Amino acid sequence: MIDGRRSRLDEANARWREMLAHWAIPEEIQHAAPASPHFFDPAVFAKAADDALERSADSPSDEAARASLPRCGAILDVGCGAGAASLRLRPHRLTGIDPNQALLDELVRRARRLEIETSTVQGLWPDDADHCPVADVIVCHHVLYNVADLAAFATALDAHARERIVVEATTVHPLSWTAPYWRELHGLVRPDRPTVDDALAVLETSNRRVHIERWVRRYPPVDAADPMAVARLARRLCLPDARHDELRTLLNRFPVPTEREVATLWW
């Protein structure tokens, strides 16, 4: 029975890894790009944290975390960025782990203003999980689709949570909305998997009782007339400056969606 469950887990985990690998940008497109499409903008993460703190109502992910967070409790935020998932919960103690030190610094600045006792770990989960303390609640928002070995990732989460683990992820790959631009600009068809249901197949095979709530998160519109917004998307799409006008035309034809379905998973 145990061997059968392990086999199903290995198969589900391998499928997840293989589906994620199909999202890799072909080498010939990357080599022709003027700059790496793999980048992040710290300002985007900082704004997400500030927006979360200013939001009046809890999201389903906030509610799931609060339900198991004791008074004077501790939170571990995995892939914390600037703290969008954890700061608004106002824990007594907060540990954030993220590979980027600039984002950890943003987290600490905001936590100090809120008088939250905070520590940080610069590193990757689960590689550096041993440097993180056990917490009452773990939050992990918008990280799953960056994780090839989801089984090992979740096992490390289990080992560090006393009460509950709360994961938030888009129900489809977070870059699925870029598919029309890749098709029109590069003739490249983007995959339609994995989805959150594929993640569930991995998580539940390990005998976890995973709860899920699907809901809609709203995002600010992307203005085709905003040069900075166009430049960021163009870099993501491996486009040179000379093709920005093409992208502007496509943004008017295929506006970036302002609503995306999100799932909160907890166990």
DSSP string, 185-203: HH--PPP---BHHHHHHHH
Residue 121 included in any domain:
yes
Residue 9 has pLDDT above 70, yes or no: yes
Structural domain containing residue 14: 2-28+41-175+189-222+257-266
> Residues 64-78: pLDDT tens digits?
999 999 999 999 999
Is 83 inside any structural domain? yes
145-162 per-position pLDDT tens digit: 999 999 999 999 999 999
pLDDT band at 3 (very low <50, low <70, confident <90, very high): low
205-242 tens-digit pLDDT = 988 999 999 999 998 899 999 999 999 999 999 999 99
Return d(Cα 120, Cα 123) in angstroms, integer: 9
Confidence of residue 132 (pLDDT cuts 50, 70, 90): very high
Q: What percent of the chain has pLDDT over 90?
A: 95
Let me know if residue 237 belongs to a domain: no
Q: Nearest CA to 203 among 235, 261, 158?
A: 158
Provide the pLDDT for residue 128.
98
pLDDT-above-70 percentage for the chain: 98
With residue 63 as reference, give the H or E element that holds it. helix 60-66
Asked whether residue 76 is domain-assigned, the answer is: yes
Q: Is residue 252 part of a domain?
A: no
Q: What's the CATH number where 204 sits?
A: 3.40.50.150
**What's the order of all strands across the beta sheet hosting 74-78?**
117-122, 93-98, 74-78, 135-141, 161-170, 259-266, 211-218
Query: β-pairing, 211-218 with 259-266?
Result: antiparallel
Cβ neighbours around 138 below 10 Å, total: 29
For the chain, how many residues are written?
A: 267
Q: Tell me how many domains the chain contains.
A: 1
Binned at pLDDT 50, 70 and 90, residue 169 comes out as very high
Task: Look at residue 1 in the predicted model and tell me its pLDDT.
Answer: 40
| Helices and strands counted in the chain (H then E) | 10, 7
Q: How confident is the model at residue 40 (pLDDT cuts 50, 70, 90)?
A: confident
Please report, as a single letter, which amino acid is at residue 129: A
Q: How confident is the model at residue 6 (pLDDT cuts 50, 70, 90)?
A: confident
Model-level pTM? 0.95
Q: Which residues are paired to 215 by β-bridges?
A: 262
Per-residue pLDDT band at 2 (split at 50, 70, 90)? low
Report whether pLDDT(12) > 60. Answer: yes
Give the model's pLDDT for residue 5: 66
Q: Is residue 77 part of a domain?
A: yes
- The pLDDT of 95-120, averaged and rounded, is 98
Which amino acid is located at 107 in the chain?
L
Q: How confident is the model at residue 249 (pLDDT cuts 50, 70, 90)?
A: very high
- pLDDT band for position 133 (50/70/90)? very high
Distance from C-alpha of 228 to C-alpha of 222, rounded to nearest angstrom: 10
Answer yes or no: is pLDDT of 30 > 60: yes
Does 228 map to a domain? Answer: no
Residue 17 domain-assigned (yes or no): yes
State residue 192's pLDDT score.
96
